[in-house]
Amino acid sequence: MYKREETKPVFVGGVQIGGQKSVVIQSMTTADTRDVEKTLAEIQRLHDVGCQIVRLAVINEDAARAIKKIKERSPLPLVADIHFDHKLALIALESGIDKIRINPGNIGSKEKTKRVVEACRERNVPIRIGVNSGSVEKRLLEKYGYPSPEAIVESAMDHVEILEDLNYDNIVISLKSSDVPTMIQTYSLMAQKRNYPLHVGVTEAGTQFSGSIKSAVGIGTVLSMGIGDTIRVSLTADPVEEIKVAKQILRSLDIVNNDPVVIACPSCGRCAIDLIGLATKVEDAISTLKVPLKVAVMGCAVNGPGEAREADVGVAGGNGEGLIFRNGEIVRKVKETELFEELMKEINEMVGEQKPT
């Protein structure tokens, strides 16, 4: 039984992470943050497919200042991704950033760290400590021999303790590794140390195909242990794909059930319609809907009608034709060339009925 570990609630703009709320999906823009229009266009696309928080790379002062303009029109809360430079953190905070990703142990002096923490405290802005296998300190690599789960957790704890010494607990932690078993063990170890919300991901997961699978296995396993409050699927692909994969992971574990889902058979020698084409087209057409809806796309009359009846809307293919189902009943028989349009007609009608008035 899937049971989530209790974590401390943290607020990123209006979005709650932790405290038993549902798992939040996030991504990162690929545009240069100084290009306000391009960044906003990317944020809008991410928002439209279901992203809830977006991170921006802040590489210099111009990028930190651009946050002000992006923030004015962004439909999503923003996270500034900053490495080392406390000045960038302070400018990002003045620009209205909702969360900062920075490792306090890398800021430099205690004084600089204090200034960042105080500016975050004033604005109730959380700090995400982000450690990954590639950023583990030399000292810990020598102690553990390689970026082991223990080394990654110890590195993260060093940063956590810096913030705790400053009496700051508005914290989110990520501990990523590109190695799935390491990442799973690392999150499991960290969950035993503190109850700060955990940002879960497999770092440098890879291209769309391999990265999606690695992420699904890694993130899915961690979530199924009841660990994790926000997820980011990292793909070498359009970030919109990251959101689609993240949503599918959450749906597969029944963590969210407010999105449509397509059930499709793998097709076999009994199938007499272009099932792969139809299922792909349907999945694409309903990917931006925000209603719980089960759509079955089945290839034949053997197993097809059973699944199609179980779904809200469904189709079971026949010889150059197909049966359309709605709420378990056959509503009509149509030609193969009309299957997509007829199925979409039913879906759109159902969506209309489900929308709040």
Give the residue numbers of the binding site for [4Fe-4S] cluster: 265, 268, 300, 307
Q: How far is the CB of 69 from ligand SF4 (least distance, A)?
A: 52
Q: How far is the CB of 300 from ligand SF4 (least distance, A)?
A: 3
Q: How far is the CB of 306 from ligand SF4 (least distance, A)?
A: 9
Nearer to ligand SF4, 191 or 300 (CB): 300
* Strand-pair category, 260-264 with 78-81: unpaired
Q: How far is the CB of 315 from ligand SF4 (least distance, A)?
A: 11
3-state secondary structure 199-249: EECCCCCCEHHHHHHHHHHHHHHHHHCCCCCEEECCCECCHHHHHHHHHHH
Q: Which helix (H) or strand (E) holds 175?
A: strand 171-176
Residue 295 and residue 351 in contact, taking contact as beta carbons nearer than 8 Å: no
Please choose, out of 35-43, 226-234, 253-261, 264-272, the segment that lies near ligand SF4 by the rule CB under 6 A: 264-272
Nearer to ligand SF4, 300 or 350 (CB): 300
User: What is the Cα–Cα distance from 335 to 340, expressed in whole angstroms?
Assistant: 10
**Burial class (CB within 10 angstroms; exposed 0-12, middle 13-18, buried 19+) of 333:** exposed
User: What is the Cα–Cα distance from 167 to 201, expressed in whole angstroms?
Assistant: 27
User: What is the Cα–Cα distance from 52 to 47, expressed in whole angstroms?
Assistant: 7
Question: Is 348 an interacting residue with respect to ligand SF4 (CB under 6 A)?
Answer: no
Q: How far is the CB of 339 from ligand SF4 (least distance, A)?
A: 14
User: What is the Cα–Cα distance from 265 to 113, expressed in whole angstroms?
Assistant: 55
User: What is the Cα–Cα distance from 336 to 347, expressed in whole angstroms?
Assistant: 17
Q: How far is the CB of 45 from ligand SF4 (least distance, A)?
A: 34
Per-residue contact string for residues 303-322; x = within reach of ligand SF4 by CB under 6 A: xx------------------
Please choose, out of 27-35, 111-119, 240-248, 262-270, the segment that lies near ligand SF4 by the rule CB under 6 A: 262-270
Residue of this chain nearest to ligand SF4 (CB atom): 299
Q: How far is the CB of 333 from ligand SF4 (least distance, A)?
A: 17
Residues 286-305 that bind ligand SF4 (CB under 6 A): 298-300, 302-304
Contact residues for 95 (Cβ-Cβ < 8 A; gap 6+)? 64, 65, 66, 67, 68, 71
User: What is the Cα–Cα distance from 179 to 48, expressed in whole angstroms?
Assistant: 31
User: Which residue of 88, 271, 286, 313 would you call a contact of ligand SF4, by CB under 6 A?
Assistant: 271
Nearer to ligand SF4, 41 or 268 (CB): 268
User: Which residue of 66, 265, 308, 347 would you call a contact of ligand SF4, by CB under 6 A?
Assistant: 265
Size, binding site for ligand SF4 by CB under 6 A: 12
Give the total residue count for the chain. 357
Question: Is 267 an interacting residue with respect to ligand SF4 (CB under 6 A)?
Answer: yes
Question: Is 106 an interacting residue with respect to ligand SF4 (CB under 6 A)?
Answer: no
Residue 153 and residue 191 in contact, taking contact as beta carbons nearer than 8 Å: no
Residue 343 and residue 324 in contact, taking contact as beta carbons nearer than 8 Å: yes
Please choose, out of 87-95, 152-160, 266-274, 349-357, the segment that lies near ligand SF4 by the rule CB under 6 A: 266-274
Q: How far is the CB of 295 from ligand SF4 (least distance, A)?
A: 15
* Footprint on this chain of ligand SF4 (rule: CB under 6 A): 265-268, 270-271, 298-300, 302-304
